[in-house]
Structure 1
């Protein structure tokens, strides 16, 4: 009799565990549903995954999965530094997503490197980095060519004079490389400049801004629009379906993941 009761008790808790697990797995309505046939591009300054949370890799990955992102361009990424316990951060994030990645070293830091990067769902056909003029600290651009589009991640300097030099290099390099490319070229990043600034106006000579003019900094009190998603003016037309700064997630606290908020654009990319 006692053994029978134990068996029933074990069965009860097993069924309860399975029920909780089933209910907790994706048991929510996405706050930002994605339309069919669009590609969702996200720019996110992740703040070395440790601005507020001790280790934000899993939380950030959960939020990007919830967002149903197709590519995430990230800024402030460590690679094997003592500050972040020798983790190759963009690789760790990409592994959690099951994606491929690109990392662009900007400068040596605490036994490793600090820089920018990106991760994407689709296969990367080609990857490279571009060094930008140095101001307060070195900056880079991480570039990935995919089958249907080319995507780049960057993080401009805080100094306005340096930003203009960086934008000059970005405009010149991408125009020379891709002016006749049949694919759309996207540039995402933390520009450290607001919409009416000289920096953004200079970018607009070669790029169209696709993202909504939404405040992305700081995550606790967003009052600055400094993160952008742009497309190179190379004659390839993409339809923008939606753009938002997401602030509500079921799978993580976006105010704790970083000091920036992510920003996304949904585009319909023409097939070659």
Structure 2
């Protein structure tokens, strides 16, 4: 009789343990997944307080410290004389262990200068789109980098990076083009970059026809890094998606560039 009781209790304990394990596994699987997105104007890897110095490991250290899944980078050199003929984005990808895509803005000092993307996820596809400027007004060529990745929830995401012109007339044309290229996509899109404008400008209002900023109230400034006064670096999510913003952060007291890095965390459906 005692043996039967022991076997019964042992079997009951095993069943109880299995039920608990299944419950824990189910909770883990149903826990909402998140992605972290960063935008960072890296000033071609030059800390502003150290003229002539190129310190890519400092930029990589910032990225690694905050562990973003996707990073939009601006002011990136590729094989230029200024930065020692280094492919900066490739080196940052190696230092951070991420995939990468470069999008040229202009030819510069024997190489190229533009924007780039780092991704924790393999890049399914990538495209470079030149952005327009107004005829008759001097302008530095700008581009839009767009990649497509598969997120942890199995859904696809288009991630875009840009660095808009200083001139408002150019910016308005460039934002109209961005809206046409990715704002009207019937897909999830996140756009990030140095937009060279503040949130109250007409150009931002035009962009907000299709996108929502990761921060809309009491947002911290992003430039200059030593005494930030203006917010010109943004992360925006295309309207109509089930992805939701959880947090928005500007990381202070970082002197690796003349901009501060910005990161938004999103909850995936």
Q: Following TM superposition, by how much is the alpha carbon of 1:36 offset from its aligned partner in structure 2, in angstroms?
A: 7.9
Q: 1:36 to 1:48 in 2, by over 3 A?
A: farther
CA distance in 1, matches of 2:195, 2:159: 16
Quick check: 1:75–1:155 contact (8 Å CA) kept in 2? yes
CA RMSD of aligned residues (A): 1.6
Q: 1:218 to 1:36 in 2, by over 3 A?
A: farther
Q: 1:43 to 1:211 in 2, by over 3 A?
A: farther
Q: Following TM superposition, by how much is the alpha carbon of 1:51 offset from its aligned partner in structure 2, in angstroms?
A: 4.0
Quick check: 2:183–2:211 contact (8 Å CA) kept in 1? no
Superposition TM-score, scaled by structure 1 size: 0.79
Quick check: 1:211–1:264 contact (8 Å CA) kept in 2? no
Moved more, 217-226 or 36-45: 36-45
Partner of 1:95 in structure 2? 94
Q: Following TM superposition, by how much is the alpha carbon of 1:37 offset from its aligned partner in structure 2, in angstroms?
A: 3.0
Partner of 1:49 in structure 2? 45
Q: Following TM superposition, by how much is the alpha carbon of 1:133 offset from its aligned partner in structure 2, in angstroms?
A: 0.9
Matches within 5 A, 1:1-272: 37-52=33-48, 53=50, 54-134=53-133, 136-148=139-151, 149-176=157-184, 178=185, 180-181=186-187, 184-211=188-215, 213-233=219-239, 235-247=240-252, 254-255=254-255, 257-270=256-269
Cα deviations by residue, 1:109-163 (Å, 9 ceiling, x for unpaired): 0000110111011110001111001352000011110013211110000001100
Larger radius of gyration: 2
Q: 1:36 to 1:236 in 2, by over 3 A?
A: closer
CA distance in 1, matches of 2:70, 2:36: 7
Quick check: 1:211–1:263 contact (8 Å CA) kept in 2? no
Q: 1:36 to 1:237 in 2, by over 3 A?
A: closer
Q: Following TM superposition, by how much is the alpha carbon of 1:175 offset from its aligned partner in structure 2, in angstroms?
A: 3.4
Q: Following TM superposition, by how much is the alpha carbon of 1:238 offset from its aligned partner in structure 2, in angstroms?
A: 1.3
Find runs of 4+ consecutive structure 1 residues off by over 3 angstroms: none
SS in 2 for 1:244: strand
CA distance in 2, matches of 1:71, 1:55: 23
Structure 2: stretches of 5+ with no match in the other structure: 1-30, 152-156
Quick check: 1:43–1:228 contact (8 Å CA) kept in 2? yes
Q: Following TM superposition, by how much is the alpha carbon of 1:70 offset from its aligned partner in structure 2, in angstroms?
A: 1.1
Superposition TM-score, scaled by structure 2 size: 0.80
Cα deviations by residue, 1:59-94 (Å, 9 ceiling, x for unpaired): 111121111111110000111000110011111101
